[in-house]
Structure 1
Amino acid sequence: MNNKEIEIISNLSGIKRYEYFIKKVVDFEEVWGLYEGGWAISESENGEPLMPFWPKKEFANLCAINEWNNYKAKHIELEDFIQEWLPGMKKDGFKPSIFWNNIDSVILDVDKLITDLEEELDKY
Protein backbone atom coordinates (compact mmCIF):
# COMPACT_ATOMS: atom_id res chain seq x y z
CA MET A 1 0.00 0.00 0.00
CA ASN A 2 1.23 3.46 -0.75
CA ASN A 3 0.94 6.40 1.64
CA LYS A 4 -1.80 8.12 -0.39
CA GLU A 5 -3.96 4.96 -0.33
CA ILE A 6 -3.43 4.58 3.42
CA GLU A 7 -4.39 8.23 3.97
CA ILE A 8 -7.54 8.02 1.82
CA ILE A 9 -8.78 4.84 3.49
CA SER A 10 -7.95 6.12 6.99
CA ASN A 11 -10.05 9.22 6.33
CA LEU A 12 -13.17 7.31 5.29
CA SER A 13 -16.20 7.39 7.58
CA GLY A 14 -16.36 4.79 10.34
CA ILE A 15 -18.91 2.66 8.49
CA LYS A 16 -16.88 2.73 5.26
CA ARG A 17 -13.76 1.72 7.19
CA TYR A 18 -15.78 -1.10 8.79
CA GLU A 19 -16.91 -2.33 5.36
CA TYR A 20 -13.31 -2.18 4.16
CA PHE A 21 -12.21 -4.12 7.27
CA ILE A 22 -14.73 -6.92 6.65
CA LYS A 23 -13.71 -7.33 3.00
CA LYS A 24 -9.96 -7.16 3.58
CA VAL A 25 -9.76 -9.49 6.59
CA VAL A 26 -11.77 -12.08 4.68
CA ASP A 27 -9.63 -11.58 1.52
CA PHE A 28 -6.35 -11.98 3.41
CA GLU A 29 -7.67 -14.28 6.18
CA GLU A 30 -6.03 -12.25 8.92
CA VAL A 31 -6.81 -9.49 11.39
CA TRP A 32 -4.25 -7.11 12.90
CA GLY A 33 -3.88 -5.90 16.47
CA LEU A 34 -1.16 -4.11 18.41
CA TYR A 35 1.00 -6.14 20.77
CA GLU A 36 3.70 -5.39 23.36
CA GLY A 37 3.80 -8.01 26.10
CA GLY A 38 0.01 -8.04 25.79
CA TRP A 39 -2.59 -6.83 23.33
CA ALA A 40 -3.52 -3.15 23.13
CA ILE A 41 -6.83 -2.36 24.80
CA SER A 42 -8.80 0.81 25.37
CA GLU A 43 -12.20 1.79 26.67
CA SER A 44 -15.28 3.51 25.34
CA GLU A 45 -16.60 6.81 26.65
CA ASN A 46 -18.88 4.69 28.87
CA GLY A 47 -15.93 2.76 30.31
CA GLU A 48 -16.59 -0.43 28.32
CA PRO A 49 -13.39 -2.40 27.64
CA LEU A 50 -12.46 -2.39 23.95
CA MET A 51 -9.95 -4.28 21.87
CA PRO A 52 -8.89 -2.56 18.63
CA PHE A 53 -8.41 -4.40 15.33
CA TRP A 54 -7.34 -3.34 11.86
CA PRO A 55 -7.50 -4.90 8.39
CA LYS A 56 -3.83 -4.41 7.56
CA LYS A 57 -0.51 -4.00 9.33
CA GLU A 58 0.00 -0.47 8.00
CA PHE A 59 -3.19 0.83 9.64
CA ALA A 60 -2.37 -0.78 12.98
CA ASN A 61 1.13 0.71 12.95
CA LEU A 62 -0.30 4.21 12.37
CA CYS A 63 -2.05 3.88 15.72
CA ALA A 64 1.05 2.79 17.65
CA ILE A 65 1.34 6.21 19.30
CA ASN A 66 0.89 7.68 22.79
CA GLU A 67 0.18 4.85 25.26
CA TRP A 68 0.72 2.32 22.45
CA ASN A 69 3.96 3.78 21.08
CA ASN A 70 6.01 0.65 21.92
CA TYR A 71 3.41 -1.68 20.42
CA LYS A 72 3.92 -3.44 17.09
CA ALA A 73 1.35 -4.74 14.65
CA LYS A 74 0.74 -8.47 15.01
CA HIS A 75 -1.58 -10.60 12.92
CA ILE A 76 -4.23 -13.06 14.04
CA GLU A 77 -5.46 -15.79 11.71
CA LEU A 78 -9.07 -15.11 10.75
CA GLU A 79 -10.25 -18.60 11.71
CA ASP A 80 -8.74 -18.20 15.20
CA PHE A 81 -10.22 -14.72 15.44
CA ILE A 82 -13.76 -15.95 14.69
CA GLN A 83 -13.66 -19.22 16.62
CA GLU A 84 -11.54 -18.33 19.64
CA TRP A 85 -10.84 -14.62 20.02
CA LEU A 86 -14.33 -13.22 19.55
CA PRO A 87 -16.12 -15.75 21.79
CA GLY A 88 -13.41 -15.17 24.43
CA MET A 89 -13.82 -11.41 24.17
CA LYS A 90 -17.59 -11.75 24.57
CA LYS A 91 -17.11 -13.93 27.65
CA ASP A 92 -14.65 -11.38 29.11
CA GLY A 93 -16.91 -8.40 28.37
CA PHE A 94 -14.76 -6.80 25.64
CA LYS A 95 -16.21 -5.21 22.54
CA PRO A 96 -14.30 -5.01 19.26
CA SER A 97 -13.16 -1.54 18.21
CA ILE A 98 -12.82 -1.78 14.45
CA PHE A 99 -10.34 0.29 12.45
CA TRP A 100 -9.42 3.04 14.93
CA ASN A 101 -7.83 5.87 12.93
CA ASN A 102 -6.66 7.93 15.93
CA ILE A 103 -10.01 9.74 15.82
CA ASP A 104 -12.79 7.16 15.97
CA SER A 105 -13.69 3.53 15.34
CA VAL A 106 -16.73 1.34 14.96
CA ILE A 107 -17.64 -0.30 18.26
CA LEU A 108 -20.07 -3.18 18.03
CA ASP A 109 -21.18 -6.37 19.67
CA VAL A 110 -19.11 -9.50 19.09
CA ASP A 111 -22.11 -11.33 17.60
CA LYS A 112 -22.62 -8.65 14.94
CA LEU A 113 -18.97 -8.84 13.91
CA ILE A 114 -19.09 -12.64 13.70
CA THR A 115 -22.26 -12.47 11.57
CA ASP A 116 -20.75 -9.89 9.20
CA LEU A 117 -17.53 -11.89 8.81
CA GLU A 118 -19.41 -15.14 8.20
CA GLU A 119 -21.68 -13.48 5.62
CA GLU A 120 -18.62 -12.20 3.77
CA LEU A 121 -16.94 -15.61 4.00
CA ASP A 122 -20.05 -17.20 2.43
CA LYS A 123 -19.37 -15.16 -0.73
CA TYR A 124 -16.11 -17.06 -1.30
Structure 2
Amino acid sequence: MNQKEFESVLKQPPNIRYEYFIKKVADSEEVWGLYNEGWATADDGEGNVCLPFFPKMEFAQAQTVDEWSNYKPESIDINEFIDEWLDGMEKDNIKASIFPNGTNTAIVQIKVLLADLKEELAKYE
Protein backbone atom coordinates (compact mmCIF):
# COMPACT_ATOMS: atom_id res chain seq x y z
CA MET A 1 0.00 0.00 0.00
CA ASN A 2 1.43 3.35 -0.97
CA GLN A 3 1.24 6.56 1.05
CA LYS A 4 -1.45 8.06 -1.20
CA GLU A 5 -3.79 5.07 -0.68
CA PHE A 6 -3.04 5.11 3.05
CA GLU A 7 -3.95 8.79 3.41
CA SER A 8 -6.98 8.50 1.15
CA VAL A 9 -8.45 5.61 3.13
CA LEU A 10 -7.86 7.34 6.48
CA LYS A 11 -9.82 10.39 5.28
CA GLN A 12 -12.92 8.37 4.39
CA PRO A 13 -16.01 8.52 6.63
CA PRO A 14 -16.48 5.69 9.17
CA ASN A 15 -18.96 3.71 7.04
CA ILE A 16 -16.55 3.60 4.09
CA ARG A 17 -13.63 2.63 6.35
CA TYR A 18 -15.85 -0.11 7.82
CA GLU A 19 -16.49 -1.55 4.34
CA TYR A 20 -12.75 -1.35 3.60
CA PHE A 21 -12.05 -3.14 6.90
CA ILE A 22 -14.42 -6.01 6.07
CA LYS A 23 -12.94 -6.54 2.60
CA LYS A 24 -9.27 -6.28 3.65
CA VAL A 25 -9.68 -8.48 6.72
CA ALA A 26 -11.45 -11.18 4.70
CA ASP A 27 -8.72 -11.00 2.06
CA SER A 28 -5.74 -11.08 4.46
CA GLU A 29 -7.44 -13.32 7.04
CA GLU A 30 -6.12 -11.20 9.89
CA VAL A 31 -7.32 -8.35 12.06
CA TRP A 32 -5.04 -5.85 13.78
CA GLY A 33 -5.35 -4.51 17.30
CA LEU A 34 -3.10 -2.55 19.64
CA TYR A 35 -1.38 -4.38 22.50
CA ASN A 36 0.69 -3.42 25.54
CA GLU A 37 0.30 -5.80 28.49
CA GLY A 38 -3.35 -5.89 27.44
CA TRP A 39 -5.40 -4.79 24.46
CA ALA A 40 -6.13 -1.11 23.87
CA THR A 41 -9.64 -0.01 24.74
CA ALA A 42 -11.70 3.07 24.13
CA ASP A 43 -14.97 4.53 25.38
CA ASP A 44 -17.84 5.09 22.96
CA GLY A 45 -18.93 8.30 24.69
CA GLU A 46 -21.81 6.52 26.39
CA GLY A 47 -19.75 4.64 28.95
CA ASN A 48 -19.38 1.46 26.89
CA VAL A 49 -16.01 -0.23 26.45
CA CYS A 50 -14.87 -0.68 22.85
CA LEU A 51 -11.92 -2.52 21.38
CA PRO A 52 -10.32 -0.84 18.35
CA PHE A 53 -9.56 -3.01 15.33
CA PHE A 54 -7.80 -2.22 12.07
CA PRO A 55 -7.54 -3.85 8.62
CA LYS A 56 -3.76 -3.50 8.27
CA MET A 57 -0.74 -3.06 10.49
CA GLU A 58 0.01 0.39 9.02
CA PHE A 59 -3.38 1.76 10.09
CA ALA A 60 -2.97 0.36 13.61
CA GLN A 61 0.55 1.80 13.83
CA ALA A 62 -0.74 5.24 12.82
CA GLN A 63 -2.96 5.28 15.93
CA THR A 64 -0.17 4.63 18.43
CA VAL A 65 -0.36 8.19 19.74
CA ASP A 66 -1.70 9.88 22.87
CA GLU A 67 -3.25 7.29 25.20
CA TRP A 68 -2.12 4.47 22.87
CA SER A 69 1.46 5.73 22.43
CA ASN A 70 2.93 2.73 24.30
CA TYR A 71 0.94 0.18 22.28
CA LYS A 72 2.19 -1.90 19.37
CA PRO A 73 0.17 -3.36 16.47
CA GLU A 74 -0.59 -7.04 16.94
CA SER A 75 -2.29 -9.33 14.45
CA ILE A 76 -5.18 -11.66 15.25
CA ASP A 77 -6.02 -14.61 13.01
CA ILE A 78 -9.46 -14.16 11.45
CA ASN A 79 -10.71 -17.55 12.67
CA GLU A 80 -9.61 -16.83 16.23
CA PHE A 81 -11.20 -13.39 15.95
CA ILE A 82 -14.52 -14.82 14.82
CA ASP A 83 -14.62 -17.91 17.03
CA GLU A 84 -13.15 -16.55 20.24
CA TRP A 85 -12.90 -12.78 20.28
CA LEU A 86 -16.32 -11.82 18.98
CA ASP A 87 -18.09 -14.40 21.12
CA GLY A 88 -16.25 -13.20 24.24
CA MET A 89 -16.83 -9.55 23.42
CA GLU A 90 -20.55 -10.12 22.99
CA LYS A 91 -20.76 -11.98 26.32
CA ASP A 92 -18.85 -9.17 28.03
CA ASN A 93 -20.94 -6.47 26.31
CA ILE A 94 -17.87 -4.95 24.63
CA LYS A 95 -18.37 -3.20 21.32
CA ALA A 96 -16.06 -3.12 18.32
CA SER A 97 -14.53 0.17 17.28
CA ILE A 98 -13.74 -0.49 13.64
CA PHE A 99 -10.89 1.42 12.06
CA PRO A 100 -10.63 4.54 14.24
CA ASN A 101 -8.60 7.30 12.60
CA GLY A 102 -8.09 9.68 15.51
CA THR A 103 -11.18 11.68 14.58
CA ASN A 104 -14.00 9.15 14.34
CA THR A 105 -14.76 5.44 14.17
CA ALA A 106 -17.52 2.98 13.35
CA ILE A 107 -18.96 1.51 16.56
CA VAL A 108 -20.44 -1.81 15.53
CA GLN A 109 -22.59 -4.36 17.30
CA ILE A 110 -20.84 -7.72 17.45
CA LYS A 111 -23.66 -9.56 15.66
CA VAL A 112 -23.48 -7.12 12.73
CA LEU A 113 -19.70 -7.38 12.49
CA LEU A 114 -19.85 -11.18 12.63
CA ALA A 115 -22.52 -11.36 9.91
CA ASP A 116 -20.62 -8.95 7.65
CA LEU A 117 -17.34 -10.84 8.07
CA LYS A 118 -18.95 -14.22 7.40
CA GLU A 119 -20.71 -12.88 4.32
CA GLU A 120 -17.46 -11.48 2.92
CA LEU A 121 -15.44 -14.58 3.81
CA ALA A 122 -17.99 -16.77 1.99
CA LYS A 123 -16.91 -15.06 -1.24
CA TYR A 124 -13.44 -16.60 -0.79
CA GLU A 125 -14.61 -20.20 -0.42
Same-fold call, TM cutoff 0.5: yes
Task: Give how far 1:13 is off.
Answer: 1.1
Q: How many angstroms apart in 2 are the aligned matches of 1:108 and 1:99?
A: 11
Q: Which residue of 2 aligns with 1:50?
A: 50
Q: How many angstroms apart in 2 are the aligned matches of 1:28 and 1:101?
A: 20
Task: Give how far 1:122 is off.
Answer: 1.1
Q: Which residue of 2 aligns with 1:32?
A: 32
Return 5+ residue gaps in structure 1 as ranges: none
Question: How does the TM-score come out when normalised to structure 2?
Answer: 0.97
Q: How many angstroms apart in 2 are the aligned matches of 1:35 and 1:3?
A: 24
| SS class of match (2:64) | coil
| SS class of match (1:4) | helix
Task: Give how far 1:93 is off.
Answer: 1.2
Q: How many angstroms apart in 2 are the aligned matches of 1:14 and 1:42?
A: 16
Task: Give how far 1:123 is off.
Answer: 0.9
Whether 1:93 and 2:105 are equivalent positions in the alignment is no
Task: Give how far 1:3 is off.
Answer: 1.7
Q: Percent identity?
A: 50
Taking only aligned residues, the RMSD between alpha carbons, in angstroms, comes to 0.6
* Over 3 Å off, 4+ runs: none
Residues 79-124 of structure 1 deviation map (CA, whole Å, 9 limit, x = unaligned): 0000000000111110000000001110011000000000001111
Task: Give how far 1:46 is off.
Answer: 0.5
Residues 46-81 of structure 1 deviation map (CA, whole Å, 9 limit, x = unaligned): 011000000000000111100110100000000000
Q: How many angstroms apart in 2 are the aligned matches of 1:107 and 1:40?
A: 15
Q: Which residue of 1 aligns with 2:17?
A: 17
Question: How does the TM-score come out when normalised to structure 1?
Answer: 0.98
